[in-house]
Structure 1
Amino acid sequence: MKILIADDDPQILRALRITLRARGYEILVATDGVSALNQAIEHKPDLYLVDLGMPHLDGVELIQGLRGWTTAPVLVLSGRTGSADKVEALDAGADDYVTKPFGVDELLARIRALTRRAAGGTDAEPLVRIGDVTVDLTATTVTRDGNPPEAVRLTPTEWRILEVLVRNAGRLVTRQTLLSDIWGSEHITDTGYLRLYLSQLRKKLEPDPAAPRYLLTEPGMGYRFDPAGGGKAPTGGGDGPAG
């Protein structure tokens, strides 16, 4: 199991590296948020131990960047004891919070618990291609190839729909799931919302919006993101009444 420790305190890094390696874990270390994010993208750790007070990117910003593309557990290790700090970290996507100083036995137990809960989880690639468009799940940006690259502007709702589909690449996402996740359970019958937003996303992202290859409709069921771009859309471009 691979663990990335992000902390700017060299003594903490050294102690955790020795302790966790002795338990059989493979350890990566970073002393600032930018380095941690780069290592995360390159090595795809199974679990993250994150301090909040780091340079360049602080712990909360790092967690937000990670949550754009990975579901791997994040355990915050911080000397900040205030409830506001804990709430901010958990809202950003952390799974658990341990206050420094902490006991080794407690830390190991928290790691085991998070590992059990995360069993079976999968990560999306942080950079996804849709034709000549790049979707960056970490930076939450969309750009079209060019010199220089051109920013593709999505509304917050368009981004949320795209993110759900990309994170479930190759799998059917039902209309009810999308409507419930984005607008709330009271809107699970409002399929017109999805037809409108999928149509707009295709206009912005698909090489040929009338014959989508990536953002596909599964008639009567929902939508699917095909990362290979080889999907066949239903007749009429995939946004007919069944969409």
Structure 2
Amino acid sequence: MNSKQYILVVEDDKPIRNFITTSLKTQGFNYIETDKGTEAIALSMSHKPDLIILDLGLPDMDGIDVVTKVREWSKVPIIIVSARENERQKIEALDKGADDYLTKPFGIGELLARVRVSLRHSASTNNEKEISGIFKVKDLVVDFNKRKLTIGNDDIHLTPIEYKIMALLCSYSGKVLTHNFIIKEIWALPTGSETQSLRVFMASLRRKIEKNPAEPQYIYTEVGVGYRLVDE
């Protein structure tokens, strides 16, 4: 692990913060920590961390506002860790610029796996095995060389994980991808985990590309199995 990689931990619950920072230290990461949103914004500007782990329920400001402020000038990966289970709030955090979302309580192995995934996404997309060229179906166009998705004349912004899910669906367009397959490919986690997170990301992705998410024309849900991207 690169000892120069710094992670900013923003968590007001001291036992949880200590749990996270101790685990990061054992994995070779350096870290800085705070329990306040205003200080988190200042630290992100002065220390330029490689990744931010952010709780939403902070004493001085909402974590979503921290995401909004940081996104005004930085693309640093942000992983939300929060006890909020409302799907709409999770989607709002992703819409504002968070890259991933983990619901408390969580296992440290799961958090560290997400940290590694986010850092890989951030390090260099050129080193990842991705499809190239252009994928087109109806009004949806994905230019993999430019990492750009458009619907008609509208550019659609995707988070790194949303883009990776979209690329995976495009690679197997017309085929049903099971929940476990997608989870393993995106997060490299064991099967049977992260179904809830996958559902949140799919809901966010649909909100961005579907005119009516309740009546999708691009990504279909195969109930109890997984998802399928149309191929015509």
Q: Which TM-score band (shorter chain)?
A: 0.5 to 0.7
Q: Deviations over 1:4-24 (max 9, x none)?
A: 011111111111111101111
Contact 1:32–1:58, Cα closer than 8 Å, also in 2? no
Q: CA deviation at 1:185?
A: 5.4
Which residue of the partner structure matches residue 96 of structure 1? 100
RMSD (Å) for aligned C-alpha atoms? 2.3
Larger radius of gyration: 1
| Pair 1:20-2:24 in alignment | yes
C-alpha distance 57-187 of structure 1, shift in aligned 2 (>3 A): closer
Q: Give how far 1:82 is off.
A: 1.0
Cα deviation digits, residues 27-55 of structure 1 (max 9, x gap): 11010100100111100000000000002
TM (norm. structure 1) is: 0.50
Q: Do the aligned partners of 1:45 and 1:72 also contact (CA within 8 Å) in 2?
A: yes
Please point out which of 79, 82, 99 is paired with 1:78: 82
Percent identical pairs in the alignment equals: 37
Partner of 1:61, secondary structure, is: helix
The 1-side partners of 2:154 and 2:42 are apart by 39
Deviations 1:125-184 (A, max 9, x none): xxxxxxxxxxxxxxxxxxxxxxxxxxxxxxxxxxxxxxxxxxxxxxxxxxxx9xx99x98
Equivalences for residues 110-129 of structure 1 within 5 A: 110-120=114-124
Post-superposition, which runs of at least 4 consecutive aligned residues in structure 1 deviate over 6 A?
Answer: none
SS of residue paired to 1:48: strand
Please, what TM-score do these two structures have when normalized by structure 2? 0.52
What is aligned with 1:52?
Answer: 56
User: Which of 40, 43, 52 is 1:39 aligned to?
Assistant: 43
Which 5+ residue runs of structure 1 have no aligned equivalent?
A: 122-176, 189-243
Q: Which amino acid aligns with 1:186?
A: N
Aligned length: 130
Q: Deviations 1:83-139 (Å, cap 9, x if unpaired)? A: 011011111100010001101111111111111111138xxxxxxxxxxxxxxxxxx
Give matches, 1:213-228, under 5 Å.
Answer: none
What amino acid sits opposite 1:107 in the alignment? Answer: L
Runs of 5+ consecutive residues of structure 2 not aligned to the other structure = 126-145, 156-232
Q: In structure 2, what is the Cα distance between the partners aligned to 1:187 and 1:96?
A: 24
